[in-house]
Amino acid sequence: MTVTGLVGPHVVLLATGGTISSRASEVGGAAVASDTGEQVFASMGVPAAHPVRVVDVFRKGSYLLTVDDMIAICATIRQVLTDPQVLGVVVTHGTDTMEETAYLVDLTHDDLRPVVFTGAQQAADADSPDGPGNLFRAIAVAGSPRARGTGVLLAFAGTIFPAAGVRKRHTTGLDAFANPDFGTVGSVSDSGEVEIRAVRRGPSPLPLPGADDGSPRVDLVAAYPGADSTLLRAALQAGAAGIVLQGTGTGNANRVLCQEVADATAAGVVVVTSTRVEAGAVVPLYGDGGGEDLRAAGAIGSGLLKPSQSLVLLSLLLRLDTPTARIAEAFAVRGTLPD
């Protein structure tokens, strides 16, 4: 970890890698995360809206991250926020798993100062990289008084999203993210003008587990036409303490998967049902292997949380040794829109 010194009110930039730091490994070669945080910051080429202190956490494509890596990012955010001169934090991060890391930070963030995630779809050595503009706008958001008390945000292509519910919606498009259920919280212009609407405070933050708190296995298994219990059983045999079942429609599976879920929950494994559908909640409506049968088999509905963020919440709760009944309560609260 490297830090450049700075005194007075400022924004901290935590660099973790991703496309915003990536360059071709050789002429015509595949892009890999290589630029330092200082290089990413310098790529803006224009003065930032606020003074910035740079912290290098690591340089990785976000497709390589583990839950332990995500916890390390959370811990670094907490560390830099011990400085009262910090206005807010920007995290540059790969877009592949930005929705997971941002949500884990959101679940554990206990500070009025904002944390803003951003990144890029075009590599640093592309003809027209989008990273510098995204970073400039994210710094403007993180240092803005309007962002205070808004929690963890994702700023991308001029739109500001809440972390809960956000997901990558396009593999290559510059306008890469959406939040169909929880919506947006504002926008930031190319010149750094920040507009943020009032944000309702969510549930109280959860504790951040330490590095030595164990790593219970949580697997994601999909339901699909003709699916049997082979993959679910393999996850259980590998020692999964939790399963996120990516259902179809309102959170449905089939009779074979329902029976396997019933056996798993009877053995103490926590099963959460989510859906592959872009928007809308998991609702137990159907029998004959559908969502109502999954509920009867002991599965917990994820509400509005899609599989990626359901996995993050379940992983965190299991690391905190949360009883199954409390896990169900957590999904009921966090899988709904704030009052």
- Tell me the sheet residues that pair with 52: 11
| 19 is a catalytic site residue | yes
Q: Is 261 helix (H, G, I), strand (E, B) or coil?
A: helix
Integer distance in angstroms from the first to the last C-alpha of the chain?
A: 40
Q: Encoding tokens for residue 107?
A: 């679940």
Q: At a CB cut-off of 8 Å and minimum separation 6, what does 136 contact? A: 44, 46, 48, 49, 190, 192
Options 19, 76, 108, 150, the catalytic residue: 19
Number of other CB atoms surrounding residue 275 within 10 Å: 27
Q: Measure the CA–CA gap between 338 and 150, rounded to whole angstroms.
A: 13
Q: What is the DSSP string of 60-91?
A: E-GGG--HHHHHHHHHHHHHHTTSTTEEEEEE
How distant, in Å, are the alpha carbons of 159, 211, 283, 312, 316 from that of 71? 26, 8, 31, 11, 9
- Asked whether 70 and 101 are in contact (CB, 8 A), the reply is yes
- List residues with catalytic annotation: 19
